[in-house]
Every structure is written in structure tokens, then in C-alpha cells.
Amino acid sequence: MESKNNWKAWLYLAPVIVLMAVFTLYPIVNTVVVSFLKDYNQINGSSKGFTFYNYQQILSPGGLFYEDVWLTALPNTLILTLITVPTSIILALFIAIGLNSIPFLKKIFQTVFFMPYVTNAIAIGMVFSVIFDTQTGIFNAIFGTYGFPWIFPVPGGATVAYGSALFSICFYIVWHSLPYKILIFLGGLQNVDQQYYDAAKIDAASRAKTIMKITVPLLSPQILYVMITSFIGAFKEYNSVIGLFGTNGGAFDKNTGPSSMKTMVFFIYDQIAKGKVQYASAAAVILFVIIMLFTAIQFKVSKKRVHY
């Protein structure tokens, strides 16, 4: 039985394994290999052998990319992640709970909140850069901060403070990542047994308390799931940067933070574009390790908090 099952199982997995092997694992292996090749020549695939040079250039102070990675890409990536993930999760939670508690207009709201998910990212990015435009953006019009640079500097005048650029991009990222989270949370909420709420009612628990002490803990599996996936997503943030700040990742006052919004993946692409695949690969591997670590930590931390 056991052994019979064994080969059967592999049979069931065969399609996935084959496809993954060709289109996922092989490229990954390839990436790792290239990341260890010295002076990898893209024209004829030749290289000057195995080396840690690429990693040195990225990791060691004084390496070619020390500034790009340690002073720009990594900080940006981390800051973006640490801001957008919690914010979006909390917002999504509130919205989901709200949606779950209202008597009417549910459907309409649901639809509205899901719209960004079904919308072509191409257009949205452009629309947002218009919204945040320093001179002409609606954002300035609404908040009456005319001439205060959000993402583009005021010519010859004020420079873009890192903070405001950060705000703009976080706004965009959160906006874009909300719908899916809301969806998951709503799903979770609909699984919560009404009796828990009745019980809480009888125990004279206030609304807020019910949410904090019962709803949220009961959602913890969903929260953990969303947290991990969106952490991974945030670490891979790239399109939003291009969408808002253009292909040079913006240029902000370096006294207020990194001078551009370039992220790790941005750096990776940049290197590929310049044909420096070996650096790109090395960076990709490093990013992968970082993500791994974060995910592991989250699992550890959540062990206690999450009930299954």
C-alpha cells in the first residue's frame, strides 16, 4: 500500500515536477551558477572561472556596488517592506471587518474594493504618477501643498524629500495590494462561527474588544499567510518604483535618505540591462537568502500566536 501509493504519488506530481524542473528549477540553478562566474561574458558565455568576486563587489564595503546596494537598494527595500506590509494588512483588516459588519451596500463596496485587482497595472501606474505630480497632481491640488515636491522636484527650487517620495510610493503600493488582502480576510471572516460573537455579546465584551480579542485571533492563519506572501511581494517591489519615479528611480535629497527609490530588484534589472548578468545573479541570490530568513523568522514568531 505504502509503496504502491509512493509511485502513484509521483505520477500525480509528474506534470508539476516536469514543468517546474524546466521553467523554474533550471533557471534558478543557472542563476546561482552564473552568480559565481568571474567576468561572465554575455556574448559568448565564457567566463574566467569560479569566483566570489561578484558577491564581494556587492557585499564588501568599497566594492563597486557597496553604495548602490547597502546605502540605497537594501534600505529602500526594507523600509518599503516594513511600512507597506503592516499598513496594508491593518487597513485590509479594518475594511474586511467593516465590510463584514455592514447591513447594506455590501456588494457594491466589495466590488469597488476589488477593482484594482482586476485592473491592468500598466494604466494604473501612469495614472498615479499623474496624481502625485508635483506641479499638476491632484494630490497637491487636494492637500494644497502647491510647489511642495512629492515625486518630482520643483525646478531650481525645493528638492524632493525622501519622506514625501516614500509616502507617495507607499500610498501606491498599499492601494494596489489592498484588494487581495481584503479578499482573503473576508474569506476568513465568513468562516468565523457566529456563536463566538454571541458568546462575546453575552460576556459584555465591547465592540473593540470583540475585534481585538476574538476576531483578529481567529483570523490569525489568514493574517500569517497574507503577511508572508506580502513580505515576499514587498521584497520584490519594482514596478511601483518604475511606475511612479520613472526608469531612473527618482532623485531625492540625499540628506533625507537614499537619493533614489531603487530597490533590490531594481538593482538586479539595472545590472542585467548593462549586461552584467553575474552581478544581477549574485544580487538575486542574496535577495533570495534575505527573503528566506525573513520568512523563517515569521514562522518562528507566529508559532505561538497563530492557532490552526
Partner 1 sequence: MKNTRMLTLTSGALLASVAAICLSSCGGATYSDQVLVSDDPTSLTKIVFFECLGHANEGNLGKIVSAFNEKYAGKYEVELSKVAGTYDALHDAVNTKLTAGEVPALCMGYPDSFSVYMGKEIDDSNIYRLDNFIDDPTFGFTAEEKKDFVPEYLAEGQNYQFEGTWSLPMYKSTEIMYYNECYFAGSNQQNLAKFAANTEFAALNKAVTDKGANPTDESLKALKDWVKSHSGYAYELPTTWEDMIALAKQMVADMKTENLENIEFYPVGYDSDANLLISQFAQRGIPFTVNDEASKADPTKHFVFDNDEAKAFVNTLVQNVKDKLLITKGVLGGSKYTNTYFTNLKSAMSIGSTGGSSYNVSSNFKVGLAPVPYAAGKKAQYIMQGPSICFFNNSNDYVHKGSWLFYKMLAETTNNTKLSLENSYDPIKNSCYETTEYKNFVAKHDSELKYDIPFHTQDLRDNYMTSPVFVGSSTARVEIGNVLQYICNSNFSTDEAFAKAMNSCRAAA
Partner 2 sequence: MENNYPNLQLVIKNDRLSAEKKNKLSLLGRILSLVLTYAFLAFMALLMIFPFYWMIITSLKEGMEINQMNPTFWPQIIRWENYSEAFSRLNFGTLLRNTLVVGIFSTIGTLFTTIFAAFAFARLEFKGRDFMFSILLATMMIPGEMMVTTNYVSVSLLGMIGKDNLMGAYAAMILPFMVSVFYIYLLRQNFKQIPNELYLAAKVDGKTDWQFLWKVMVPLAMPTLITIFILKLMGAWNSYVWPNLIATGNQDFWLITNGLRGTFSAAENINDYGVQMAATVIVTVPLLLLFIFFRKYIMRGVSRAGIKG
Partner 3 sequence: MEIKIKNLTKVFPGNPKKNIPDTTAVSHLDLDIPDGQLLGLLGPSGCGKSTTLYMIAGLKQPTEGEIWFGDEDVTNLTPEKRGIGLVFQNYALYPHMTIYDNVKFPLTNLRVKTTKKAVKILDNQKIDELITNNADEIIEIVKSSVYKEKISKDAAARKLVFRFHIVTSLAVKIFRLGLHLVPADELSAKIAGIKAELAADNQKITEKFAKHGYSLNEACECLTAEGTTIIETRRLSTSEIDGLVQETARLVQIDQYLTRKPSELSGGQQQRVAIARALVKKPRVLLLDEPLSNLDARLRLQTREEIRRIQRETGITTIFVTHDQEEAMSISDQIVVMKNGVEMQRDHPQDVYNNPQNLFVAKFLGTPPINTFSGEIKNGALYIGEEKILSSKSFTEDKPVFVGIRPEGFLADEHTKDEDKVFSITVKAIVTMGRDMSLVCEHDKFIGEDIKIIVDSDIDAKIGVMRFAIRPNKIFVFDAKTEERIRFEAK
Q: Which three cell numbers stand for residue 265?
A: 530588484
Smallest distance, Å, CB 182 to partner 1? 24
Q: Which of 13, 90, 212, 273 binds partner 2 (CB under 8 A)?
A: 13
Q: 82 or 301: whose CB is closer to partner 2?
A: 301
Spatial distance between the Cα atoms of 264 and 269, rounded to a whole number of angstroms: 9
d(CA 268, CA 278): 10
Instruction: Report CA dihedral (223, 224, 229, 232) to the nearest 10 degrees.
Output: 120
Total residues interacting with partner 1, rule: CB under 8 A:
55
- 204: contact with partner 3 by CB under 8 A: yes
Contact pattern from residue 142 through residue 181 relative to partner 1, giving x for each residue in contact according to CB under 8 A and a dash for the rest: ---------xxx-xxx-xx---------------------
Shortest Cβ 223–partner 3 spacing (Å) = 12
How is residue 32 written as a grid cell?
Answer: 546561482
44 binds partner 1 per the rule CB under 8 A: yes
Binding mask 81-100 for partner 2 (x = CB under 8 A): ----------x--xx--xx-
Give the nearer residue to partner 3 in terms of CB position, either 63 or 221.
Answer: 221
Shortest spacing between CB 307 and partner 3, in angstroms: 4
Give the footprint of partner 1 on this chain (CB under 8 A): 34, 40-46, 57, 64-65, 67, 121-122, 125-126, 129, 133-135, 151-153, 155-157, 159-160, 238-239, 242-243, 245-248, 250-255, 259-260, 268-270, 272-277, 279-280
